Structure 1
Amino acid sequence: MPQPNGSFSINAEAPDESADSKALLQDGRVPPQCCSARLNLALLMFLGFSVVYGLRVNLSVAMVAMVNATDPSVDRNTSAAPACPLPAGSGNSSGAPQQPDGTPQYPWDSETQGWLLGAFFFGYLCTQIPGGYLAGHYGGSRFLGVGVLGTAALTLLTPLAAGWGSRWLFALRALEGFGEGVTYPSMMAMWTRWAPPLERSRLMTLSGSGGSFGAFVALPLTGFICEKLGWPAVFYLCGGAGCLWSIFWFAFVSDDPHTHRRISEEERDYIVTSIGAQGTGHGWSLPLLSMVLSVPLWAIIFTQMCSNWTFYTLLTSLPTYMNDVLHFDLQSNGFLSALPYLGNLLMSLLAGVAADFLMERKVFSTTTVRKAFTFTGLLLPALFLVLVSYVGCDHALIVTFLTLSTSSGGISSAGVFINQIDIAPRYAGFLLGITNTFGTIPGIMAPIVTGHFTEDRSLDGWRTVFWVAAGINVGGAVFYTVFGSGRIQPWANTEENRAEPERTRARTATR
């Protein structure tokens, strides 16, 4: 309902949906998204997270080229089960990838590689919560921009650190994670001020799906660059792309519609009116105890941890699986490792549009939509991972099921992964910092656990990896279905919104 000051509040009624946003839609006063400031912001975020994931996954493919597979100190264990035969075709080889003469290689065993692949996430853990808190208070644009720029600049130093030794490379990757940790909480804090309630799913899935696009581009491109220019060029080019993106970000982005220099008055009024009081930054104090005791928040935390275990297992270890078990050459390895993320990108975008459609048409409540998309987006990937475990060395089926697993995981992007802004819009950046901190733990543990199970490069070891990931996914799907919610929590209401029912009752009593 309208507030006394003439503004609208998305908290004026108990149900999940915003009646005010629906009224705006019915009156035909919704500015089109095409060429709008909010869509331009989503596209810039999309490109930014494409760069971010390129910086994150380039080591996964480059590792295959960086390691000297002929060194006798590397992986001395023998396989406990027969390795898969070479796939048919002249483009495949089980030998070490060819690179330009003079390209350095290192004697890192599977355990060392696992630690290096997980190093990024040690730093990534540290800045999620502080980044979300500060972005929610000051605005997220500067934190997101500096996070990408800092990570890109550090990436340029990767060849130097690798030459100094694995410990130096571990430290550098941890620093990269430290810089990048603020990016996703900053994105959520910005959408708190920019995304109308009934456009959240598609705007946020569009911006967040840049990660899948970045993985899709970076994985095959990394393999190609490694073979043509040598693996050091990968880090120079990726780092340069991040620095270039930051120039456009700082030139064209503002924290909120009020300060944007090129937004139309119509669009600014629509965004501010539909979001209401929840579009303002939170103060220095936070309802921490209420957050700790919030069951819907813990449902998000636990479910994102479960989903991320599978995601990070494949993100960091799939190139190794393609090389050690399926024996694809480096360029084929990169393309086939990237293929699942193209499917994930398309599925994420479709899920965002479908989720908003279901809520706009009042087919389902926000809670039902979030639960349905989350359950489906966790259960299907688990099913396909189990199927991978039982197709032996059938290269075509393995690639198909791995692609379907990661692709179907994109459905959950319109579920649990944007649920923070449903239950507490004003604190969404800080909450994403919390949930991403817990959700990053699998990014640390999954590569290490995978390295432990696959030391002998056997099919049995990889079968265990896939079964563990599938079981964790199913557990998350069930937990969120029972305990998740799409309602704004009482502790997340602003003082203005809490006072409104009292004012309404007072006016009624006076009459």
Structure 2
Amino acid sequence: MFNFSFFPQWQQRYNITILCTIALFICFIDRVNISVAILPMQTEFGWSDTVKGMVLASFFIGYMLMQIVGGVLASKFGGKIVLGSAVIFWSIFTMLTPILAMASLPMLILGRILLGLGEGASVPSAYSLFKHWVPKAEQARTISIFSSGAPLGTIIGLIASGWIINHYDWAMVFYIFGSLGFIWVVFWLLFAYSKPKDNPKISKEEVKLIYAEKEEIKQHEPVPWKQFFNKAPVWALFYTAFTTQWTLYLFLAWLPSYFADVHGFSITQAGLSSAAPWLTMIIMMNVAGVVSDKLIKSGKSAGFTRKLVQSLGLLGSALFLFLVLFVSEPIMAVLYTCGALGALSFCYSGYTVNPMDIAPKHSESLFGVVNTAATLPGILAVAITGWLVDITSSYHSAFILAAGLSISGALIFIIYGTGKKIID
């Protein structure tokens, strides 16, 4: 499937990009399916919105714990082994979700934590592969293509989950989606390599292109952990990642419930309507990636480019979140949430690429730390939203909080962020 030798311009590094993107696609299908399935689960098990928020948030405990560990493991053993193992692990716990839910609430929460633990290694291990495989001139667009797997998986997960629940039941969602990881791993074993030199099919020309503007990176370079925590630009990166992901996780977990609770959508309608903002995100994410690489190619600095797209993403998202507060018609709510995620997509050419700028030798380890900060909203935003909805009977407070955090994240990154290499 991925041996594209009949395409004259096909390069071996594209196999890595495609397979990592598909892995992230599966990752998000397995993550978001419960956002729709939890609607009938809440009714069946009699959960309050606070309990529902706890179930949704529990995934991110495991996901957060694995970020740094996943980066270290990928640096030591290579991205191929770590990502392949992670997909198998989380696929098993996806399929176990209905059994655990029937057993007890604590067992379900434990299963969600373990599912998150598996998925937590996905992005750091992909970054480990990208630091070896991706030429500097292609970094933003590669990360954008890879990151597109997240909203694409979210779209398919939301739409398909509603359809499956209506035609079968909520448990079937987890069985069907959980099986996809086992299919993917067959192609991963056949076509993925941790480093270019491990691939017997790669040409000398492609190797030369990959390392044209960077040195070949050793597999076991010691990680300068202290430097990660004594640099102001790194802390700015942590904070802007936190604020970016707050809105993302708010939408990821609660958008179907918002459309169902506020606008009276059915489960199928809520899934379909929630998919539209993620489709907008896919389109704009790749537009931002191309624009970012062209800006750098035209002579703009990496620092200017990252700050530009990051601030456009956060401030634009905040604007649309404020607009959502004043809508009563469902179509306008869908359009404004599309605008919020469409704007937020620019951040994926900002903070997610920045570790490659400031720590090119240790980007997967640094991104593991950054994504730990970025995963905190998966716990806090998801759980706090449930609490706010319970005590206010409205989503307004949740949207206002997300908008305020976005504005602060943009300002911090503009002031303290950088695109220069600051970590050896």
Question: Which TM-score band (shorter chain)?
Answer: over 0.9
**In the alignment, structure 1 residue 249 sits paired with structure 2 residue 185:** no
Offset of residue 206 of structure 1:
0.5
**In the alignment, structure 1 residue 301 sits paired with structure 2 residue 238:** yes
Offset of residue 456 of structure 1:
5.8
Query: What is the rounded CA distance, in whole Å, between the counterparts of 2:386 and 2:67 in structure 1?
Result: 26
Offset of residue 322 of structure 1:
1.1
2:14 to 31, 36, 39: 39
Give the partner amino acid of 2:354. N
Superposition RMSD in Å: 1.4
Q: Contact 1:324–1:457 (CA<8 Å) still a contact in 2?
A: no
Offset of residue 316 of structure 1:
0.4
Give TM-score, length-normalised by structure 2: 0.96
**In the alignment, structure 1 residue 58 sits paired with structure 2 residue 21:** no
Offset of residue 217 of structure 1:
1.0
- 1:424 maps to what in 2? 359
- 2:308 maps to what in 1? 372
Question: Alignment partner of 2:214: what SS?
Answer: helix
Higher alpha-carbon Rg? 1
- 2:3 maps to what in 1? none
Offset of residue 266 of structure 1:
1.5
2:247 to 306, 310, 321: 310
1:111 to 39, 50, 71: 50
Q: Could you list the runs of 5+ residues in structure 2 that have no partner in the other structure?
A: 1-6
Query: What is the rounded CA distance, in whole Å, between the counterparts of 2:39 and 2:57 in structure 1?
Result: 15
Offset of residue 273 of structure 1:
3.7
**In the alignment, structure 1 residue 387 sits paired with structure 2 residue 290:** no
Offset of residue 265 of structure 1:
2.4
**Structure 1 residues 240-249 or 474-483, which shifts more?**
240-249
Q: Label 1:464 to 1:135 Cα distance change in 2 as closer, same or farther (>3 A).
A: same
- 1:18 maps to what in 2? none
What is the total number of aligned residue pairs between the two structures? 418
Query: What is the rounded CA distance, in whole Å, between the counterparts of 1:288 and 1:328 in structure 2?
Result: 48
Query: What is the rounded CA distance, in whole Å, between the counterparts of 1:385 and 1:483 in structure 2?
Result: 25
Question: Alignment partner of 1:417: what SS?
Answer: coil
- 1:508 maps to what in 2? none
**Which 4+ runs in 1 deviate beyond 3 A?**
none
Q: Label 1:159 to 1:208 Cα distance change in 2 as closer, same or farther (>3 A).
A: same
1:131 to 60, 63, 70: 70
2:419 to 486, 496, 499: 486
**Structure 1 residues 468-477 or 289-298, which shifts more?**
289-298
Give the partner amino acid of 1:281. Q
CA deviation string 1:203-224 (max 9, x = no partner): 1111121111100111011001
- 2:219 maps to what in 1? 281
Q: Contact 2:63–2:118 (CA<8 Å) still a contact in 1?
A: yes
Give the partner amino acid of 2:413. Y
Query: What is the rounded CA distance, in whole Å, between the counterparts of 1:357 and 1:234 in structure 2?
Result: 41
1:261 to 181, 184, 200: 200
Offset of residue 298 of structure 1:
0.8
Q: Contact 2:70–2:121 (CA<8 Å) still a contact in 1?
A: yes
Taking the TM superposition and a 5 Å limit, the aligned residue runs for 1:11-26 are none
- 2:350 maps to what in 1? 415
CA deviation string 1:310-345 (max 9, x = no partner): 110111011111111111011111011111111111
**Structure 1 residues 322-331 or 259-268, which shifts more?**
259-268
Q: Contact 1:122–1:177 (CA<8 Å) still a contact in 2?
A: yes
Give the partner amino acid of 1:52. C
Offset of residue 261 of structure 1:
2.8
- 1:438 maps to what in 2? 373
Query: What is the rounded CA distance, in whole Å, between the counterparts of 2:75 and 2:303 in structure 1?
Result: 24
Q: Label 1:302 to 1:463 Cα distance change in 2 as closer, same or farther (>3 A).
A: same
Q: Contact 2:223–2:365 (CA<8 Å) still a contact in 1?
A: no
Q: Could you list the runs of 5+ residues in structure 1 that have no partner in the other structure?
A: 1-31, 69-104, 493-511
2:386 to 439, 444, 451: 451
**In the alignment, structure 1 residue 475 sits paired with structure 2 residue 412:** no
- 2:153 maps to what in 1? 214
Question: Alignment partner of 2:45: what SS?
Answer: coil
Give the partner amino acid of 2:419. G
Offset of residue 227 of structure 1:
0.5
Q: Contact 2:276–2:338 (CA<8 Å) still a contact in 1?
A: yes
Q: Label 1:358 to 1:34 Cα distance change in 2 as closer, same or farther (>3 A).
A: farther
Give the partner amino acid of 2:255. L
Question: Alignment partner of 1:154: what SS?
Answer: helix
**In the alignment, structure 1 residue 168 sits paired with structure 2 residue 107:** yes
- 2:167 maps to what in 1? 228
Taking the TM superposition and a 5 Å limit, the aligned residue runs for 1:456-467 are 458=393, 461-467=394-400
CA deviation string 1:390-423 (max 9, x = no partner): 12x2111111101110111111111111100110
Give the partner amino acid of 2:287. L
Q: Contact 2:24–2:150 (CA<8 Å) still a contact in 1?
A: yes
Give the partner amino acid of 1:395. P
Q: Contact 1:282–1:427 (CA<8 Å) still a contact in 2?
A: no
Offset of residue 457 of structure 1:
7.1
Taking the TM superposition and a 5 Å limit, the aligned residue runs for 1:62-77 are 62-68=37-43
